[in-house]
C-alpha cells in the first residue's frame, strides 16, 4: 500500500468543468413548476440548494467530489471531505448528515480506500455531523467526496449575491493552493509549502462560519475551483462593482515563484478566459494575477458585510488562527466590475 500513489492529471477543484461550459449546459435544462419552498436553486450560482420545510427550518443540500491532488490517501480523504462540508458553512448552515461518494478501481489495494474514507469520516465528525452511508462504483481512477445535508433558519441564509455598496470584503484563507499542488506534482514545491497548503485544505470553514453568527452577513461564498476572481464575479452578480486591494490578499508566498515559472493549471487558464473581461488590473505582476485566477481546493470564505463591522469580525477570525484579511470593498456599479490595484 505505501508504494501506491494517487496520481491524477487534474486533482481537487482543478478538475471542475469551466464556468462558461457549465453555464451553457445549465441554461438548456428543462424547468419544472416553480416551488415556493425552494429558496435557493442552481439558477442562483450559490454554493448549495436550500429547501424550506417549516417556518424556522430549511434543508441545505450539497455534494462535491473529485480526484486526488495529494499522494497520501488519508490526507486526500480529509481534504475532499473538508471541501464538501464547506458549502454548508458558506450558506450559514449547520452540518447534520453526510453520505460518501466513492469511485475506486477494483484492482487497487482496498486499504487505500479505507484510508481515504477514514480521513473523510474524521472530518464529518469534527463538523458535528453523522456519516449516514454512501454509494460506490468501480472506476479507472480514484474519486471521493460527500453529499452533505445541513440545516439553516430560512431568514438567516447567506446567499452569494447580496453584497451592498460600501461593504467590506473579508477572505479567510490564503490563495495559491492550485499552483503549489501543481508544482508539487513535478517535484518543485518545498515540503514547507505543501505542509502549509495541506493544513489550509484540511481546516474546516466551520470555525470562520461560527465567527460570522453574531454579525449581519450580506453575502458569503467559499473560494474553490472558479478562483478568487471567479467567485467574486458571481458575488458581484452584475449588480455592483468592487475594488480589491492586491497587497492585502493572503497568499502562499511560494506560489508567486511557481507562477513566474509557469507552473500553472489548465483550470486557472479557463478561469482567466472566463473572468478576465470583468477585471481590470492596475500595476499587478503576472504572478499575482495568476494567483487570483488560481483554482482553490477547500478554500476560505469570502464574506461581504458592513464596513463598520468588518474590523470586529476580522479580529474574531484571526483569534481562531485564520490568516483572514480585509481584501477589498464593494462599490457602486461602474464600467469595470472588478478593479484590482
Residues with a catalytic annotation lie at 13
The alpha-carbon radius of gyration of the chain (Å, integer) is 19
Q: What is the DSSP letter of 278?
A: G
Size of the chain, expressed as the number of residues it contains:
341
How does 223-249 read in b/e, with b if 16+ C-beta sit within 10 Å?
A: bbbbbbbbbbbbbbbeebbbbbebeeb
Q: How far apart are CA 195 and CA 193, in angstroms?
A: 5
Per the CB < 8 A criterion, the answer to whether 300 and 172 are in contact is yes
CA 332, 273, 293, 14 dihedral sign is: positive
Q: What is the DSSP letter of 35?
A: -
How does 96-109 read in b/e, with b if 16+ C-beta sit within 10 Å?
A: bebbbbbbbeeeee
Sheet containing 167-171, strands listed edge to edge, beginning at the edge strand earlier in sequence: 217-222, 301-306, 167-171, 325-331, 241-244, 338-340, 279-281
Distances (CA, A) of 267 to 16, 43, 300: 8, 22, 18
Q: How far apart are CA 275 and CA 131, in angstroms?
A: 37
Q: How far apart are CA 182 and CA 10, in angstroms?
A: 9
Q: How far apart are CA 259 and CA 152, in angstroms?
A: 40
Per the CB < 8 A criterion, the answer to whether 128 and 95 are in contact is yes
Amino acid at each position: 500500500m505505501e508504494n501506491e500513489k494517487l496520481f491524477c492529471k487534474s486533482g481537487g477543484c482543478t478538475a471542475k468543468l469551466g464556468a462558461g461550459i457549465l453555464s451553457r449546459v445549465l441554461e438548456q435544462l428543462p424547468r419544472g413548476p416553480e416551488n415556493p419552498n425552494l429558496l435557493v436553486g442552481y439558477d442562483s450560482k450559490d454554493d448549495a440548494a436550500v429547501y424550506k420545510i417549516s417556518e424556522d427550518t430549511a434543508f441545505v443540500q450539497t455534494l462535491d467530489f473529485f480526484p486526488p491532488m495529494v499522494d497520501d490517501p488519508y490526507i486526500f480523504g480529509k481534504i475532499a471531505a473538508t471541501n464538501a462540508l464547506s458549502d454548508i458553512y458558506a450558506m450559514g448552515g449547520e452540518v447534520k448528515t453526510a453520505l460518501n461518494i466513492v469511485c475506486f478501481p477494483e484492482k487497487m489495494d482496498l486499504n487505500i480506500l479505507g484510508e481515504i474514507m477514514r480521513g473523510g469520516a474524521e472530518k464529518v465528525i469534527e463538523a458535528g455531523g453523522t456519516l449516514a452511508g454512501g454509494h460506490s462504483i468501480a472506476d479507472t481512477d480514484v474519486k471521493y467526496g460527500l453529499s452533505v445535508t445541513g440545516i439553516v433558519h430560512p431568514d438567516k441564509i447567506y446567499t452569494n449575491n447580496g453584497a451592498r455598496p460600501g461593504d467590506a470584503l473579508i477572505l479567510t484563507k490564503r490563495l495559491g493552493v492550485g499552483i503549489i499542488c501543481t508544482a508539487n506534482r513535478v517535484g518543485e514545491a518545498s515540503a514547507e509549502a505543501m505542509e502549509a497548503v495541506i493544513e489550509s485544505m484540511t481546516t474546516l470553514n466551520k470555525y470562520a462560519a461560527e465567527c460570522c453568527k453574531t454579525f449581519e452577513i450580506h453575502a458569503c461564498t467559499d473560494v474553490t475551483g472558479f478562483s478568487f476572481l471567479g467567485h467574486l464575479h458571481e458575488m458581484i452578480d452584475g449588480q455592483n462593482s468592487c475594488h480589491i486591494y492586491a497587497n492585502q490578499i493572503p497568499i502562499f508566498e511560494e506560489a508567486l515563484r511557481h507562477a513566474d515559472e509557469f507552473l500553472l493549471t489548465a483550470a486557472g487558464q479557463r478561469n482567466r478566459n472566463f473572468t478576465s473581461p470583468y477585471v481590470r488590473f492596475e500595476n499587478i505582476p503576472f504572478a499575482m494575477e495568476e494567483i487570483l485566477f488560481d483554482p482553490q481546493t477547500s478554500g476560505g470564505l469570502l464574506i461581504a458585510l458592513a464596513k463598520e463591522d468588518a474590523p470586529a469580525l476580522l479580529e474574531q477570525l484571526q483569534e481562531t488562527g485564520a490568516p483572514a484579511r480585509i481584501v477589498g470593498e464593494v462599490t457602486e456599479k461602474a464600467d469595470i466590475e472588478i478593479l484590482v490595484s
